[in-house]
Amino acid sequence: MRDYTNLQWPEAPFGAEQRPFGQHHDMLAAFAVDWTSLDAGLLPVAAATVYLRVRRHGTAAQAGEQSLSIGFRATVIEEPAEAPHLLTLTDRALTRARRHAVILAGHHLDNDLTCMGALSTTPLRGAAGVLAAWANRTVKERGVALMIDTAAEARTTGVELDMPLDPVPESVPDCPGCAARLARCVLARCLAVGLTAAVHAGRYRWEGTFHVGDAIDRAAWDLLSANFDDAGHQHRHQTTHRAATPPRRNRR
């Protein structure tokens, strides 16, 4: 299991003082889970949470890949036996997000949560709670997080991103370099979901195409690059990795 994060739990997403977020902001939490199909059935291989700072009042904030502050966590399994642990961690992340975020976003998140619940041998209370709220998300309740499905109500938001939001089947990574690459993929997709939800909620806007991979590189490269360099990526794999968001390390 590999974890890549800049969050400072358990105190708060960004430490006691909510760095780098100020007090005049709300938080949006986006979730993404990537799956693989094994003979034994569906297996989660990676999960990500991305926190975005969104203005509480006023007009939509200008968002850009060079200036966006994101809090993130990506967790990747390295063998199938670690899947239950991944489910537990994701369940905990969902519970925390409901406590700290005013907007929760996912892409068919109900599908992910249903699969998680079906696979887990222990109760996933966070996931079950979000799943129940997700089903009733059109009913606005005071003090309850706004929930946005980017595959449903936000599908037609018209957000210009350089990658699709739909997951593609992944595989269990076989080396640190591949784990880091999978972490980047799930993080990028999670950020794309969060950005789409932020636009849908009228909190973000931008001109042209938002380069999601660049924002991830900027936020997480120090955590991800060591593993890339370890592996050197000299080896060739039988499996093909998704090419939706190839890292552009030197893009200017």
Write down the least CB distance from residue 36 to Zn ion, Å.
Answer: 15
Angle at CA 187, nearest 5°, toward 250 and 30? 135
> Binding residue for Zn ion (CB under 5 A) from 1, 146, 151, 175?
175
Supply the DSSP string of the chain, one letter for each residue: -EEEE--BTTTBBTBTTTTT--TTEEEEEEEEEEEEEETTEEEEEEEEEEEEEEESSSSPEE--TTT--EEEEEEE-SSGGGHHHHHHHHHHHHHHHHHH-SEEEESSHHHHHHHHHHH-SS--HHHHHHHHHHHTTTS--TTS-EEEETTTTTTTS---BSS-SS--------SHHHHHHHHHHHHHHHHHHHHHHHHHTTSEE-SS-B-HHHHHHHHHHHHHHHHHHHHTT-S--SSPPP-SS---TT--
152 binds Zn ion (CB under 5 A): no
Write down the least CB distance from residue 134 to Zn ion, Å.
Answer: 35
Write down the least CB distance from residue 177 to Zn ion, Å.
Answer: 5
174 binds Zn ion (CB under 5 A): yes
- Amino acid code (one letter) for 65: E
Phi and psi, residue 149, nearest 5°? -100, 115
176 binds Zn ion (CB under 5 A): no
Write down the least CB distance from residue 133 to Zn ion, Å.
Answer: 38
146 binds Zn ion (CB under 5 A): no
Write down the least CB distance from residue 181 to Zn ion, Å.
Answer: 8
Segment interacting with Zn ion (CB under 5 A) among 6-14, 45-53, 98-106, 173-181: 173-181
Shorter beta-carbon distance to Zn ion: residue 178 or 199: 178
Segment interacting with Zn ion (CB under 5 A) among 92-100, 136-144, 171-179, 187-195: 171-179
Write down the least CB distance from residue 236 to Zn ion, Å.
Answer: 9
Write down the least CB distance from residue 234 to Zn ion, Å.
Answer: 10
Shorter beta-carbon distance to Zn ion: residue 4 or 51: 4
Shorter beta-carbon distance to Zn ion: residue 166 or 230: 230
Phi and psi, residue 26, nearest 5°? -95, 170
Segment interacting with Zn ion (CB under 5 A) among 1-9, 13-21, 103-111, 169-177: 169-177
178 binds Zn ion (CB under 5 A): yes
Applying CB under 5 A, the residues found at the interface with Zn ion are 174-175, 178
